[in-house]
Amino acid sequence: MSQEIVLNYRLSDGTVRTVDARVGDTVMDTAIENDIDDVVAECGGNLICATCHVYLDDATAALFEEPDDAELDMLEGVAAERRKHSRLSCQLVVKAELADHTIETPERQ
Ligand code: FES
């Protein structure tokens, strides 16, 4: 059985949703499965839509590799403000160390 962790999403309306996330799924998959509507993910994780944009804090960003060139290119096209730790959630794979961290979603995708 796959390992599960607890992950928080702080939505653009200020509410926080706490969900179970499977290690190995992406942060985008987890949002879609839990009806986090702020994450649209039009392309289904193929890195061609930039509608799975999220914001990470410093501690959460440090858990992941830096975005690669393809993700950086797509981040140029995000609809909401781009911040220091803007990421595309389809490129973020849930890992045990992500437990109890909070992913922030932008006001539009
Ligand atoms: S779901 Fe389309 S780029 Fe992430």
CA 88 to ligand 1 center in whole angstroms:
6
Higher local confidence (pLDDT), 1 or 54:
54
Q: What is the mean pLDDT of residues 69-92?
A: 98
Q: Helices in the chain by DSSP H: which ranges?
A: 27-33, 58-61, 69-75
Amino acid at site 35:
D
**Strand pairing partners for 22?**
4
State the pLDDT at residue 2: 82
Mean pLDDT along residues 47-60: 98
Each residue of 20-39: pLDDT tens digit?
A: 999 999 999 999 999 999 99
Q: What is the Cβ-side half-sphere exposure of residue 40, based on CA atoms within 13 angstroms?
A: 14
What is the per-residue pLDDT for 39?
A: 98
State whether the beta carbon of 41 lies less than 6 angstroms from ligand 1.
yes
| Confidence bin at 7 (pLDDT 50/70/90) | very high
Provide the pLDDT for residue 1: 65
Q: Whole-angstrom Cα distance, residue 77 to residue 22? A: 29
Q: Rounded mean pLDDT of the chain?
A: 97
Residue of 17, 16, 19 whose CA lies nearest to 6: 19
- pLDDT above 90 covers what percent of the chain? 98
Q: pLDDT per residue over 79-89, tens digit each?
A: 999 999 999 99
How much distance in Å is there from the Cα of 24 to the middle of ligand 1?
A: 17
Output the CATH code of domain 4-104. 3.10.20.30
